[in-house]
C-alpha cells in the first residue's frame, strides 16, 4: 500500500511517499481503508522529534492521527464492527499512521462515522473532538451555568470545544484575531477577545475552567482569571506527574515530568487553583458519544482546507503556519 513515511526526525524533513507492507491484523483489530486523514500539529511535532522521549517511534514510520474510512477486514475477536462499516477514529499511540491506504487499529479506538458527514468532514473530528471531550467533560466536569475560557477559538480544538461547552450549558469566552470573530460567534462563543488588541486577563474574572492551548505566559495569566478552586487544563504543556502515570513512564521520565511542571503547579497552588496537563488518548466510546452530537446537529465540523494525498507535506506546512480556521484534512480515496 502507499503511505507517507518519515525516514528521519527533523524540522526540515519531509514525509516520503513509499510503497510499504499492509498492516498485520491482531485479534481485536479492524483493518480500515483510509478515505480521509485529519492533520494535526502533533504530526509535525513528532516529525520534529519533540515527542521522542514520550512517544519513541522508530523511523521509518507513517504519520497521521485521524482517520475516516471503511472497515475491510476484522480480527477473529472483533464484535463491534464488520466489513463494510464506515468508521472514524484517532488510533492509539504507537499504532498511528493514517497517511496511508490502510490502517489497523483496536476496535475499541473506533466509532461509527456520523452519517451526516462526508469522509473528509469525519476525518477532521476525532483528535480534536476527543481532546475537547476529555478536557471539558472528563477532566473539567464542566456544568451548566459555569464559565469556561477556551483559548484560540478558531483553531481545530477551539472550534469543537466552543460548540461542546455551549451544549453543556456553559458561558464561553474565547480568544481569536479580528478575521475570525464571526466564525467563533457563529459557533456560540459569548465573550470574544481579539488577542492582538486586548489582554484577556483584564476582561475575564472568576472563571471555573480554562482550556489552555498557548504558551507559558498565557498559561500563567490563565491562573489569574480563575475563581478559587477553578481549573486550568493545559493541552500545550508542561506535562505533569499525572501524565507520567498515564503513559507508564519510567522513574527517570517521571522525575523529568515532575520537574517540568513544578513551577506552574506551585503558582497554581499559590492562587488556590488547580493545574493539570492533558494528553488526549484514543477512546472509541467517547467518540461514539460525539457521533450522536454530530448526527443531532449539535456539533458541526469546521473545515479550513482539504488537500489531495500527494500534497500531504503541504497540508502539514499549512497547519504549521498556525492560522488554520478549523481543520485541515487529506483526501486519500
Ligand atoms: N495535549 C493534547 O492532547 C493536544 C490535543 C490537540 C491539540 N494540542 C495542542 O493544542 C494546540 C492547539 O491545537 P489546534 O489543533 O487547535 O491548533 P490549530 O488549529 O493549528 O490553531 C490554529 C488557530 O490558533 C489561533 N491562534 C494562534 N495564536 C493564537 C493566540 N495567541 N491566541 C488565540 N488564538 C491563536 C489561530 O487564529 P488566528 O489566525 O486568528 O490567530 C488559528 O485559528 C497545539 O499546540 C496542539 O499541538 C494538544
pLDDT band, very low/low/confident/very high, at 158 (cuts 50, 70, 90): very high
Specify which residues 67 forms β-bridges with. Answer: 89
User: Which residues, in sequence order, are CB contacts of 186 under 8 Å at separation 6+?
Assistant: none
The tally of CA atoms less than 13 A away on the side-chain side of residue 92 is: 12
Closest atom of ligand 1 to 234 CA is: 1
**pLDDT tens profile 90-141:** 999 999 999 999 999 999 999 999 999 999 999 999 999 999 999 999 999 9
Q: Are 147 and 171 in contact (CB under 8 A)?
A: yes
Distance in Å, CA 273 to ligand 1 centroid: 24
User: Average pLDDT of 178-182?
Assistant: 98
Q: Measure the CA–CA gap between 122 and 296, rounded to whole angstroms.
A: 15
State the pLDDT at residue 82: 98
Closest atom of ligand 1 to 157 CA is: 16
Distance in Å, CA 131 to ligand 1 centroid: 12
Whether ligand 1 lies within 6 angstroms of the CB of 156 is answered as yes
Residue in 275, 36, 325 with CA at minimum distance from that of residue 157: 325
**pLDDT tens profile 288-304:** 999 999 999 999 999 99
Q: Atom 30 (ligand 1): residue with closest C-alpha?
A: 152
**pLDDT tens profile 252-276:** 999 999 999 999 999 999 999 999 9
Q: How far apart are the first and last CA of the chain?
A: 12
Q: Atom 29 (ligand 1): residue with closest C-alpha?
A: 152
pLDDT band, very low/low/confident/very high, at 219 (cuts 50, 70, 90): very high
**C-alpha cell belonging to residue 76:** 477473529
Q: Measure the CA–CA gap between 18 and 6, rounded to whole angstroms.
A: 10
Q: Measure the CA–CA gap between 189 and 159, rounded to whole angstroms.
A: 10
Whether ligand 1 lies within 6 angstroms of the CB of 324 is answered as yes
Q: Measure the CA–CA gap between 323 and 131, rounded to whole angstroms.
A: 19
DSSP alpha helix (H) spans, 29-101:
41-48
Distance in Å, CA 214 to ligand 1 centroid: 7
Helix (H) or strand (E) holding 162: helix 156-167
pLDDT band, very low/low/confident/very high, at 170 (cuts 50, 70, 90): very high
| Backbone phi and psi for residue 149, each to the nearest 5 degrees, phi listed first | -110, 115
State the pLDDT at residue 223: 98
* Degrees, nearest 5: CA angle 5-8-9: 105
Whether ligand 1 lies within 6 angstroms of the CB of 282 is answered as no
Q: What is the DSSP letter of 39?
A: E
Amino acid at each position: 500500500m502507499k503511505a507517507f513515511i518519515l525516514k528521519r526526525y527533523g524540522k526540515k524533513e519531509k514525509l516520503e511517499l513509499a510503497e510499504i507492507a499492509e498492516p498485520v491484523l491482531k485479534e481485536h483489530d479492524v483493518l480500515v481503508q483510509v478515505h480521509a486523514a485529519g492533520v494535526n500539529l502533533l504530526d509535525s511535532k513528532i516529525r520534529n522529534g519533540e515527542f521522542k522521549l514520550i512517544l519513541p517511534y522508530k523511523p521509518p514510520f507513517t504519520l497521521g492521527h485521524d482517520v475516516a474510512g471503511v472497515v475491510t477486514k476484522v480480527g477473529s475477536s472483533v464484535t463491534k464492527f464488520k466489513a463494510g462499516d464506515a468508521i472514524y477514529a484517532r488510533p492509539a499511540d504507537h499504532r498511528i499512521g493514517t497517511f496511508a491506504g490502510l490502517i489497523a487499529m483496536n476496535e475499541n479506538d473506533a466509532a461509527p462515522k456520523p452519517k451526516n458527514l462526508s469522509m473528509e468532514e469525519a476525518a477532521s473530528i476525532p483528535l480534536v473532538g476527543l481532546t475537547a471531550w476529555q478536557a471539558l467533560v472528563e477532566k473539567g466536569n464542566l456544568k451548566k451555568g459555569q464559565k469556561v475560557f477556551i483559548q484560540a477559538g478558531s483553531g481545530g480544538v477551539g472550534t469543537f470545544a466552543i460548540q461542546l461547552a455551549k451544549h453543556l450549558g456553559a458561558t464561553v469566552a474565547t480568544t481569536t484575531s479580528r478575521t475570525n470573530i464571526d466564525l467563533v460567534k457563529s459557533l456560540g462563543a459569548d465573550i470574544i477577545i481579539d488577542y492582538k488588541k486586548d489582554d484577556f486577563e483584564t476582561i475575564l474574572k472568576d472563571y471555573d475552567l480554562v482550556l489552555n492551548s498557548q504558551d507559558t505566559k498565557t498559561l500563567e495569566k490563565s491562573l489569574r482569571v480563575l475563581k478559587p478552586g477553578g481549573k486550568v487544563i493545559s493541552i500545550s504543556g508542561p506535562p505533569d506527574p499525572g501524565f507520567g502515570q498515564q503513559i507508564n513512564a519510567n522513574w527517570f521520565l517521571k522525575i523529568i515530568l515532575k520537574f517540568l511542571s513544578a513551577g506552574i503547579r506551585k503558582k497554581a497552588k499559590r492562587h488556590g487553583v488547580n493545574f493539570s496537563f492533558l494528553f488526549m488518548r484514543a477512546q472509541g466510546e467517547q467518540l461514539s458519544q460525539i457521533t450522536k452530537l454530530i448526527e443531532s446537529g449539535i456539533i458541526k465540523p469546521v473545515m479550513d482546507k482539504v488537500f489531495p494525498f500527494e500534497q500531504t507535506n503541504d497540508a502539514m506546512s499549512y497547519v504549521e503556519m498556525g492560522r488554520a480556521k478549523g481543520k485541515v484534512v487529506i483526501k486519500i480515496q
